[in-house]
Amino acid sequence: MAVYGYIRVSSKDQNEDRQLIALHEQDVPDKHIFLDKQSGKDFNRPQYKKLVRKLKKDDLLYIKSVDRLGRNYEEIQQQWRVLTKEKGADIVVLDMPLLDTRRGKDLMGTFLSDIVLQVLSFVAENERTNIKQRQAEGIAAAKARGVRFGRPPKPLPENFPSVYQRWKAGEITGRAAAAKCGMPLSTFRYRAAVYERTGAQ
């Protein structure tokens, strides 16, 4: 029997130390710990796939919590079946002692584990939905305050004001004006509209 651990954090700047410490407390060797820095929306993760390929019957997999496995309700259920039924491995969820497939392999034990897994999977996906909603609300609120997202626009070329005036007066076409400013026509029109509105940018 080999002992493995799986860690997932949602982004590269998130810290995995808490999960790593929990796995070390279970004496999981470093070479058997697989780490993905990726969203839990699906299971298309390189280290997770590598882990599944290595798992064999009666191996043991530790994870800190169900949401570290994933945040998609149906896919968590499916992957749990892959790991426990198809691979024949055992899983221990450290934050939820009821989710320890080494115990209660009788019908009642399996029934209780399935119920707990379904509830926790639902909570994990629901939290993902809430996170996305909070992010959307935060972005909307920031935009309402005038916060701008994305790369700042390049400064206008020095000749833009004079070219703009000539274009506005009908002396030159938009295409010619864009060429003189070294930008695509669509960009020139956009920047001209902003310039007209604000007199800047």
Does the annotation mark 162 as catalytic? Answer: no
Three-state secondary-structure class, residue 61 = strand
Angle at 74 between CA 69 and CA 78, to 5 degrees: 70
Which position among 10, 11, 113, 186 bears the catalytic label?
Answer: 10
Residue linked to tokens 């584990």: 113
Q: How far is it, in rounded angstroms, from Cα 84 to Cα 60?
A: 10
> Who's near 24: CB < 8 A, 6+ residues apart?
none
Q: Return the active site residues.
A: 10
